[in-house]
Each structure stands twice: as structure tokens, then as C-alpha cells.
Structure 1
């Protein structure tokens, strides 16, 4: 995992364990799994639309939003990006 993803995941985990008022991440955790997954779905659709209709910078922007929300969803379930990496690695044996 890249340092950026490591840092992002650590920040998300920290917000889950130590909520801070005014934090968007904390608001997502407070809203619950259903709302988090809804955001993942919305961001996935935005990536698809950007991929079809927008320029590369918009695809990158929307992809970053999707990765962030996916990390929140993973952390909410007690999972990590490393768990995803292990699964991906197992597919290339």
C-alpha cells in the first residue's frame, strides 16, 4: 500500500476510534453502514459517468472520492486495505 493510502486508512481508523465533532468521516460512521455503502455506490457511479463523459482529471478526482469512501466502508467492518491486497495477490499465484 502506498504511504498516502496508509495515512488515509490510519486517519479513518483514528476517527472511528476517537470521534471529532465536525469531521466528515465521523459523520459517516455516525450515520451507519447503510449510509456509508450508499456513498460508496454514489461515488462508483460518479467514476463511471466521469469515465464516459469527462476528462482524465475528473476521473482521477472521482476515483479518489471512491477510494476514500471504500476505505471508510472497510474500516467500518473492521477490515483494511491490506485485506484487499491479500485477496488481489492471491489471484496472481
Structure 2
């Protein structure tokens, strides 16, 4: 079964180092980690706003934007979807309250 996040991640990696005049993704990478992280924050806020408004279509659209920018941030940091999936798998079946109590640092 296809994994849309991994497919998008592969596209993002393919655009890294590309022409920033032709690729929004390449432009983000040239602007650096701080700008990428800022975009994640902006998209997160827009996602929250649409959730509060109750517009499912706009929430889906903003969620897609948020995921895209988050994947760009992962790629910038050298993380892959599999890295995140491993963290999620390790937390599976563990109470969120217990997991937070047991975090170090």
C-alpha cells in the first residue's frame, strides 16, 4: 500500500538543492531551518483556526499544508518518516500520561 507521506517526502528530497526560482521547496531549503520552522508554526496556527471555525474542507487543506511543511522540516533535520514512525510505534500501547512522565529532558 502506498504511503502518501513517504511519497511526499521523496518529492521534497528530490527538490532539495533544486532551483529556488522554480521550486517552492527548494526556496524553503535555501532560506534555512529558521524559515522552515516559522512556516510550520504559521501553518499550525492556520490549521487551528480552521478547526475552530469548523470548516472541514479548509481544515483538511490547512492540515495538508502543515504536513508538507513539517516534512520539509524533517528533511532539513535529516529525519525521515520512518524515524517518526519508530517513535510512534514505541509509544503504542503506552498511556500518554505515563509516556510524558517517563521522558528524559
TM-score (ref. length: structure 1): 0.91
Alignment partner, residue 58 of structure 1: 58
User: Which ranges of 4 or more aligned residues in structure 1 deviate by more than 3 Å?
Assistant: none
Alignment partner, residue 3 of structure 2: 3
Q: Which runs of 5+ in 2 are unaligned?
A: 94-105
1:9-29 deviations in Å (ceiling 9; x for gaps)? 00111111x413410000000
After superposition, residues 1-93 of structure 1 pair within 5 angstroms as 2-16=2-16, 18-20=17-19, 21-93=21-93
Q: Which runs of 5+ in 1 are unaligned?
A: none
Aligned residue pairs total 92
Which has the larger helix fraction?
Answer: 1
**CA-based RMSD:** 1.5
CA apart distance, 1:2:
4.5
TM-score (ref. length: structure 2): 0.81
